[in-house]
Amino acid sequence: MSASSRRFAALLLVAGLLTGCVSRQDNSAPQQAPATVPLSELAGVTLQIGDQKGGTEALLRAAGALDDLPYRVAFSTFTSGPPQIEAATAGKIDFAITGNTPPIFGAASNAKVKVVSAYDGGGFGDQILVHADSPIQTVAGLRGKSIAIAKGSSAHGHTLVQLSRAGLSPADVKLVFLQPADALSAFTQRRVDVWAVWDPYTAQAEKELPVRSIARATGVTNGAGFGVASDAALADPKRNTALADLLVRYAKAVRWANDHRDQWVSRYAAEVGLDPAVATVAQGRSLRLPTDLSDQLIASEQEMADLFAQSGQIAAAPEFANWVDRRFTDQLRPLYLNRN
C-alpha cells in the first residue's frame, strides 16, 4: 500500500460503530421547551457531542468558539450519521450534526431525537464514484451493478433519488452496505463496482484513486445537514440551555470559516490529517452554512422519506415534521447565511 493510500485508510479509521435497538415507544412530536437556565449555573454540565471526520470539533476550535465555555464539552467520533442517531437515542450523546438521511432513518425507527438546526451543504461533495476505466457512464448504467454505501447515510439517500430519476429501483442494483473504511477496501479491490460517498472522502478519493464521478447530489437532493439533539437533552433545563448556546457558537464558527477560507482550510487539514489540497476541495464545496428549518426543507425531507418507504428501504414513511423542533430558531435566524 502506498503512503497516500495509508493516509487515506488512516482517515477512515474512526471510533467503533455503536449499535443497539431503538425503542419503539412513540417519540414523535416536539415537547415544550424547559425554562432557560442562567449560563452561570452550567458549570457542572457536560455536553456530549457526536462528531465525524470532518469535523464539528475542528471547526469550533479553529474559530475559537470553545473559548470561555460556561459548561464542558466532550466529543466522540463516529463513522457516519446513523450511529450518531443511535447513540443519541441510547443516551450516549446529546447532539450531533449529520447529513440529510440519518434523521429520516432515525424517525422511521422512532428514535429519541429531534432535528433542531439546519445547514445548507449544497450536496457538491456527495457523489457516486466509479473506477476511471469503468464502462459505467451514467446512473442508468448502474443496472445490475454493486454499490458500496453506508446504510442510512446521505449517500444512501442521494443514490436512491438518483436511481429513481433514472427509472431504476434498489432491486435493479446491488446495494452493499458498508461503512467508509470497508467501502474503500471493497472499491479499491474491485469487489464492488461503485462507491457512493460524501466529502471529505470524495475529495480524498478523487486525489488518491483513479476514479470518475457519474453523479452528484447538487440539485437532486436538498444537500442539507442537520443538527440533531437527544430528547433527553432537550428536556433537561441545563443541557437545553447549553445546547442553545452551542448552536449559536457553531453558527458563528461557520460564518468565521466562510469568511476566512484559507485559514480554516489550513486548520482543517492539520486537525483531520488531510492533504491541504484535499481539504481545500472538500471545504470549498462542502462547508455547511446555517440555514432555516423551513417548511420547504422539511417537505423535501418528507419526499425523500416517502421514496425510502416506497422502495422498501424502510418499513413506513415517518411524518418527518414530527421529528423537527424549532425552539432555537429565534436565536439562530440572525446567523443564517446564503451560499456564495
User: What would the DSSP string read from start to end of 103-132?
Assistant: HHHHHHTT-SEEEEEEEE-TTTT-EEEEET
For the record, the C-alpha cell of 183 comes out as 467501502
Segments of the chain assigned E as strands:
46-51, 72-77, 95-98, 113-120, 127-131, 146-149, 174-177, 194-197, 211-216, 224-230, 289-291
In the DSSP assignment, the letter for residue 96 is E
Q: Which fold has domain 39-121+223-335?
A: D-Maltodextrin-Binding Protein; domain 2 (3.40.190)
Query: Residue 252 is inside which H or E element, if any?
Result: helix 237-259
Could you report the per-residue pLDDT of 273-308, keeping only the tens digit for each?
A: 899 999 999 999 999 899 999 999 999 999 999 999
Contact 85, 98 (CB under 8 A): yes
Instruction: Give residue limits of the domains in the chain.
Output: 39-121+223-335, 127-216
Report the amino acid identity of residue 260: H
Segments of 154-204 assigned E as strands:
174-177, 194-197
Question: What are the φ and ψ backbone dihedral angles of 258, each rounded to 5 degrees?
Answer: -65, -35
For the record, the C-alpha cell of 224 comes out as 442539507
**Rounded CA gap, 278 and 294, in Å?**
32
pLDDT-derived band at 121, boundaries 50, 70, 90: confident
For the record, the C-alpha cell of 264 comes out as 480554516
Question: What are the φ and ψ backbone dihedral angles of 17, each rounded to 5 degrees?
Answer: -75, 125
In the DSSP assignment, the letter for residue 220 is T
User: In the predicted model, is pLDDT for residue 9 greater than 70?
Assistant: no
For the record, the C-alpha cell of 11 comes out as 482517515
Judge if 39-121+223-335 and 127-216 fold alike in CATH terms.
yes
Contact 138, 166 (CB under 8 A): yes
Average pLDDT, the chain: 91
User: In the predicted model, is pLDDT for residue 10 greater than 60?
Assistant: no
In the DSSP assignment, the letter for residue 190 is T
Q: Which fold has domain 127-216?
A: D-Maltodextrin-Binding Protein; domain 2 (3.40.190)
Average pLDDT of the segment spanning 197-218: 96
DSSP-based three-state secondary structure for 266: helix
pTM here is: 0.89
